[in-house]
């Protein structure tokens, strides 16, 4: 039986467009991206953290979209966010710097683990990097860490710059090599490869453990997917179907399954 319109699942884009009351501010390109990223997590018991809530409307949109979510937390450094009041008991606001111990303790007291984390906070390169290091470990396996407004990472005023080797943009670009670590781990240790991004020279353990599964870059957005399990052997077994070989790829290919350069 077809669902009636009132029972159909609305898209995030539609809910955002229809929003009244507390303002929610998103770039148009984010809306279809959110529908794609959020849809697999639209199930009971989901926990969500949004860093930076401003006027608070985005938390209500998340509450509508994730009707079966357990806890949705917003964190904002602006003390005016402490005045936000919600009818939905699942929505919570923590006032403070996301990278402070006090905010971390309040957030983890409300929910010890998350399925989705959205960083729409200060947009400062240093804050983005620290928030990722502190909160990515709280993601459940298969969760997503979304960083908004990454165009700021090209701006010196936000601690970034196109040629700044220590910007958060360069750090996440370097993580794409960690995704493929199984193919170069014999050349250099993962921690040594990334140590220049950290003041103490010690990258977080989850990187070397292989919890970063894949990374997406789009205009003003970076998405880091957490693996279902730790480890760097992600390519999997080679799968060949059919038994007729005009060109014997079994002899010509290397361990990765791709043809050797110049094989012809």
N residues, the chain: 264
The tokens describing 70, both together, are: 């357990």
pTM of the model: 0.89
Q: In this predicted structure, what is the pLDDT of residue 1? A: 32
Q: Look-up: residue for tokens 């709280």? A: 138
Number of C-beta neighbours around residue 48 at 10 A: 26
**Domain locations along the chain:** 11-235
Q: What is the topology classification, in CATH, of domain 11-235?
A: Rossmann fold (3.40.50)
What sign has the CA pseudo-torsion 13, 153, 224, 54? negative
Query: Whole-angstrom Cα distance, residue 247 to residue 254?
Result: 15
Q: In this predicted structure, what is the pLDDT of residue 251? A: 58
Phi/psi for 6 (5° steps) reads -70, -20
Q: In this predicted structure, what is the pLDDT of residue 257? A: 45
Select which of 41, 92, 123, 232 is catalytic: 123
Alpha-carbon Rg for the chain, nearest whole angstrom, is 21
Q: In this predicted structure, what is the pLDDT of residue 90? A: 97
Is 225 tagged catalytic?
no
Residues of the chain with pLDDT below 70 are: 1-8, 249-264
- Helix, strand, coil % in the chain, rounded to nearest 5: 35, 20, 45
Q: Quick one: 250 exposed, middle or buried, by C-beta within 10 A (0-12, 13-18, 19+)?
A: exposed
Query: Whole-angstrom Cα distance, residue 48 to residue 32?
Result: 18
Four-point Cα dihedral 77, 141, 66, 123, nearest 10:
30
Phi/psi for 94 (5° steps) reads -110, 125
In the 8-state DSSP scheme, what is residue 253? Answer: B
Q: In this predicted structure, what is the pLDDT of residue 207? A: 97
- If we measure between CA atoms, which residue out of 96, 122, 126, 125 comes closest to residue 109? 96
Query: Whole-angstrom Cα distance, residue 152 to residue 146?
Result: 15
Query: Whole-angstrom Cα distance, residue 193 to residue 197?
Result: 9
């Amino acid at each position: 039986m077809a669902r009636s319109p009132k029972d159909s699942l609305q898209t995030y884009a539609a809910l955002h467009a229809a929003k009244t009351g507390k303002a929610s501010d998103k770039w148009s390109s984010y809306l279809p991206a959110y529908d794609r990223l959020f849809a697999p997590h639209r199930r009971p018991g989901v926990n969500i953290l949004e860093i930076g809530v401003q006027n608070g409307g985005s938390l209500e949109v998340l509450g509508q979209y994730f009707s079966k979510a357990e806890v949705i937390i917003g964190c904002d450094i602006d003390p005016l966010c402490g005045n936000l009041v919600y009818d939905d008991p699942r929505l919570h606001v923590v006032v403070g710097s996301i990278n402070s111990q006090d905010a971390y303790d309040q957030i983890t007291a409300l929910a010890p683990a998350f399925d989705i984390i959205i960083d729409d906070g200060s947009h400062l390169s240093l804050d983005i990097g620290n928030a990722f290091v502190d909160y990515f470990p709280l993601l459940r396996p298969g969760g997503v860490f979304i960083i908004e407004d990454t165009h700021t990472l090209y701006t010196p005023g936000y601690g970034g710059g196109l040629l700044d080797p220590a910007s958060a943009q360069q750090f996440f670009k370097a993580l794409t090599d960690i995704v493929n670590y199984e193919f170069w781990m014999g050349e250099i240790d993962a921690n040594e490869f990334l140590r220049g991004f950290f003041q103490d020279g010690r990258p977080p353990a989850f990187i070397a453990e292989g919890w970063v599964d894949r990374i997406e870059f789009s205009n003003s957005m970076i998405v880091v997917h957490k693996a279902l399990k730790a480890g760097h052997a992600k390519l999997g077994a080679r799968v060949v179907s059919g038994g007729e070989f005009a060109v014997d790829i079994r002899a010509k290919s290397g361990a990765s399954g791709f043809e050797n350069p110049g094989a012809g």
